[in-house]
Amino acid sequence: MNDKTNGNHIWLIILALCLTAAGGYALGRNSVPDTSTAQQQLAELNRASMERLIVEEGPIYVIGHCSPDSDTVCSAIAYARLLKLLGFDARPAVSGAINRETAYILQQAGVQIPEELIDASGLNIFLVDHSEYSQAVEGMADAHIVGILDHHGIGTVSTGHQVVYEARPIGATATIIWLDYLNYGLDIDQQTAHLLLGAVLSDTGYLTGGTTTQADRQAVKNLAELAEVSDVDAFYQKLHEESLSYEGMTAMEIIFSDYKEYEAGGFRFGIGLANSINEDKSRQLSSLLAADMEEAFASRNVDYMYASIGIRENGEKIDYIICANELSREVFTSAFPNYDEFDGTAYIFRNGGLGRKTRFVPVFTDYLNAHPHE
């Protein structure tokens, strides 16, 4: 190799290093690279598409579902910040007390618990993580819905006027928000990154859940950098421990800590989720919950009610399903005749379990629609 070629090589290497550094910096900062006018133009067009958001007098409240989980709460805060960056008067809100896991994420991120909204009537509302009146705060039917951001099936909420409606079949609403920041060319601050990271980890079970996509994996990588969380494993471990801690909670509080209601075929049904570390603990928890299921059922206006206890052992998902009463049991076993075991209290689903979003609700909804209310 002569000197000239060698010199060229060095310059090429220096150029490549500069480009890599610039690209890395731009990605790390989550901003649109200066070199890409096409991307800048796209970001401007995306921002422009939000200009005519139809807002009535007063602020926009960004709010998730009742029995709020980490995805719902963190998404509300992160999306309210995005709307503010776009020039709107937006405020995050919650519908009910937050759980331990969410409290831990907020505390780590250094963010306050959003204000609690009791009644949505007459307010501008941007819904995140749900589109179902039965899961929404009181008065939603009389609210002015300005937008919906979700990763579930299309619910009952409807409007006559134009809205922002963005739904994607991915692991977390927080991942959609991460994508929106990218698409609008907006920077994600460290606090927001911390919130979104916690939410994606929580909703995807650290990227192991059935709804996880490449977008969720990339979001976790990027958000961990922006949040300066160097040990994601340890952060998730702590979240998981908090989510498993039912210390000092009554059976009723556990049943309703992550509880959602649905409508299908003229019926209403509710499913509460709980977590456990192994099958022994699941059996203990299922007898504790079973004792109060009738009372839980009586406290809500539903036709059927269930509690589901999930375990993730060596990457395998197992679910224990408890029926509130005889009628709930009859319909359940007709819709799901292929359970692996019934231990006298719970129907056990091994080999992937019976995920609420991925299997339980879609299959049960189809069943009820095929056997509607007389």
- Judged by the rule CB under 5 A, the positions of this chain that interact with Mn ion are 71, 129, 173, 203
Contact between residue 191 and residue 80 where contact means Cβ atoms under 8 Å apart = no
Query: What's the CA gap between 221 and 127, in Å, rounded?
Result: 26
**3-state secondary structure at position 367:** helix
CB closer to Mn ion, 171 vs 270: 171
The distance of closest approach from Cβ of residue 321 to Mn ion in the complex, given in angstroms and rounded to an integer, is 21
Contact between residue 356 and residue 349 where contact means Cβ atoms under 8 Å apart = no
Looking at the DSSP assignment, which residues form a beta bridge with residue 148? 127, 165
CB closer to Mn ion, 124 vs 173: 173
CB closer to Mn ion, 203 vs 216: 203
Give the residue at shortest CB distance from Mn ion: 71
Query: What's the CA gap between 246 and 100, in Å, rounded?
Result: 9
The distance of closest approach from Cβ of residue 184 to Mn ion in the complex, given in angstroms and rounded to an integer, is 21
CB closer to Mn ion, 132 vs 203: 203
- Token representation of residue 6: 């060698």
CB closer to Mn ion, 73 vs 226: 73
The distance of closest approach from Cβ of residue 343 to Mn ion in the complex, given in angstroms and rounded to an integer, is 30
The distance of closest approach from Cβ of residue 151 to Mn ion in the complex, given in angstroms and rounded to an integer, is 6
CB closer to Mn ion, 43 vs 137: 137
Contact between residue 148 and residue 163 where contact means Cβ atoms under 8 Å apart = yes
The distance of closest approach from Cβ of residue 332 to Mn ion in the complex, given in angstroms and rounded to an integer, is 24
CB closer to Mn ion, 144 vs 240: 240
The distance of closest approach from Cβ of residue 163 to Mn ion in the complex, given in angstroms and rounded to an integer, is 19
The distance of closest approach from Cβ of residue 217 to Mn ion in the complex, given in angstroms and rounded to an integer, is 16
Secondary structure E strands in the chain: 60-63, 90-94, 115-116, 124-128, 144-150, 164-167, 259-264, 267-276, 304-313, 316-323, 341-342, 347-349
- What's the chain's Rg over C-alpha atoms? 23
By DSSP bridging, strand 60-63 and strand 124-128 are: parallel
Distance of CA 1 to CAs 4, 9, 14, 200, Å?
8, 11, 19, 51
CB closer to Mn ion, 129 vs 261: 129
Residue type, 68: P
- Token representation of residue 117: 């909204």
* Residue with tokens 């509080």, as numbered in its chain: 253
The distance of closest approach from Cβ of residue 192 to Mn ion in the complex, given in angstroms and rounded to an integer, is 17
> What letter does residue 314 receive in the DSSP assignment?
T
Query: What's the CA gap between 270 and 300, in Å, rounded?
Result: 9
